[in-house]
Chain A
């Protein structure tokens, strides 16, 4: 285990509590992550000392707020190696980021007969915006399938991505199967055919080093709350030429350059997309989360999570009647692990785990087409993060075994 991460739990006060009389083990990190003191304190400090609206007003507080807000944008750009802060739009999160691309770039560029290619493992937020765009434009939506181990079928991707394809949009890391998709290869494939490549980074940016220039994606979406930051803030990276050519989706204050009675002009990037007062504290909080993650190093975070997966996946696979989805080879599986106990609905399993203090998700994980593809109504899902350790992994395995025993023997 990475040395620095051994004592990290103390930075997260929420983890130090009992749930149903058991020490909490929080394994729902793919849904949202807990916040370190540094992030909560950054929010506190902003509201106690620096709160003002940004990009307007000449007073000192307004200047401080603007500086911190824009500083957070610089940090976000550097975090994913965007060339400039002009490439970073603040949004509410991944969902809004993807919706913006569909509503602006998609609306402007997709015509009847064009094709949009996604995969069966997409989260609803990287599916419904494209589905609705396709419906509006009479375009065709195509789905890339997976191999038996849950990895993306690249041979099929090569067949589906053609000169008719205008947009390819794929999750960098699946929020159910835990696989990492080859975004760089997909981007090259999309570009060969004149299509743009969109990456859904919700489950990757928090867990591994991401370099948008190396991936050569055209757009990339991510959420602050899944990487130790507050809810309500996220980012959309876009290549400058594309963002410049795109119309704003919302209009109002903050985003205008000049307003006349019958026409207006917009601010330059990135502000032309950010109408109205933004989530200033959210952006500052996300900046603090980035500082926290960078002090540890994303390569270390990735190594730590991989060590947990190497440890826990074989233990889970060894439980009779436990079906684990996605790759069974730990080296191909990230810290998102979906599973089902045969004969038991995942809700019942999740309730049992909760009684043991272990917080997991149960449901369709906003991926109904994937559930259909896997022929299951729902799954349970444990997802690890940098503050989880081997002990948490053991607690999960023990709780699953106890639940299995409980339901096998029946209740009173």
Chain B
């Protein structure tokens, strides 16, 4: 098979987002922020959201991770900017269904992120794609809207079977 199958995972738009991530950095006036880790591989994602009433007025992320996790975070921030919390939460659900579910969904609302559907064929990489979306969900639902450290295992053990423990 060789590397041809990799084209399904590393689409050009994914490589572009990873290399030049959108909304990468920090917000001065964040209302919600969270740091999430993938404890099995060391990926760290810092996500900041600035809510204006019910609207995501600004969003930014930092941290380190692989191509897929960085691209997914970049795409997620594009998708949810200027959306309401309800719309953003709906996108989180649609994205999760797209990547790990078995029901057909309308992924057009996700923008570029819809292209991450190809990750489905690479089960070991699913958690890379979902990290940013889980972080958003947690950031929007954290009670005190302040720095909270979460990890994928505590959050959603079902999808996070480790592929690289020692």
Q: Give 1 or 0 for each of A377-408: 1 = CB within 8 Å of chain B CB.
A: 11000000000000000000000001100110
B166 touching A406, Cβ below 8 Å: no
Q: Does B102 contact A (CB under 8 A)?
A: no
Asked if A362 meets B41 with Cβ closer than 8 Å, knowing A175-B166, A348-B68, the reply is yes
B9 interface contact, C-beta 8 A: yes
| Pairwise interchain contact A347-B66, C-beta atoms closer than 8 A | yes
Residues of B contacting A412 in the complex (Cβ-Cβ under 8 angstroms): 7, 11-12
Which of A123, A355, A368 contacts B3, CB < 8 Å? A355
- Given A175-B166, A347-B125, A368-B42 in contact, is the A411-B68 Cβ separation under 8 Å? no
Interface residues on A, range: 35 or more
For the complex, give the distance between the alpha carbons of A363 and B44 in Å.
12
**Min CB distance, A307 to chain B, in Å?**
25
Provide the residues of chain A in CB contact with B165, threshold 8 Å. 31, 366
Residues B4-49 near A (CB distance < 8 A): 5-7, 9-12, 14-15, 40-44
Q: Do B64 and A402 have beta carbons less than 8 Å apart?
A: no
Q: How many residues of B contact A (CB 8 A)?
A: 29
A377 touches B42 (CB 8 A): yes
Residue of A nearest to B124 (CB): A351
- With known contacts A345-B66, A377-B43, A378-B42, A355–B10 Cβ distance under 8 A: no
B144 within 8 A of A: no
Q: Give CA–CA (A22, B1) in the complex, Å.
A: 7
If A347-B66, A411-B11 touch, does A355 touch B6 (CB 8 Å cutoff)?
yes
Whether the Cβ atoms of A30 and B166 lie closer than 8 Å is yes
Cβ of B67: which chain A residues have Cβ within 8 Å of it? 344-345, 347-348
- Give me the interface of A with B, judged by CB distance under 8 Å: 20-22, 30-31, 123, 175, 344-348, 350-352, 354-356, 361-366, 368, 371, 377-378, 402-403, 406-407, 410-412
- 22 contacts across the A-B interface (CB closer than 8 A): A20-B5, A21-B1, A22-B1, A30-B166, A31-B164, A123-B166, A345-B67, A347-B65, A348-B68, A351-B122, A355-B2, A355-B5, A363-B41, A363-B42, A366-B165, A366-B166, A377-B42, A377-B44, A406-B10, A407-B10, A411-B6, A411-B15
Chain B interface (Cβ < 8 Å from any Cβ of A):
1-3, 5-7, 9-12, 14-15, 40-44, 64-68, 122, 124-125, 128, 164-166
* Ranked 10 nearest A-B pairs via Cβ: A345-B66, A347-B66, A21-B1, A364-B42, A411-B10, A363-B41, A363-B164, A366-B166, A377-B64, A20-B1
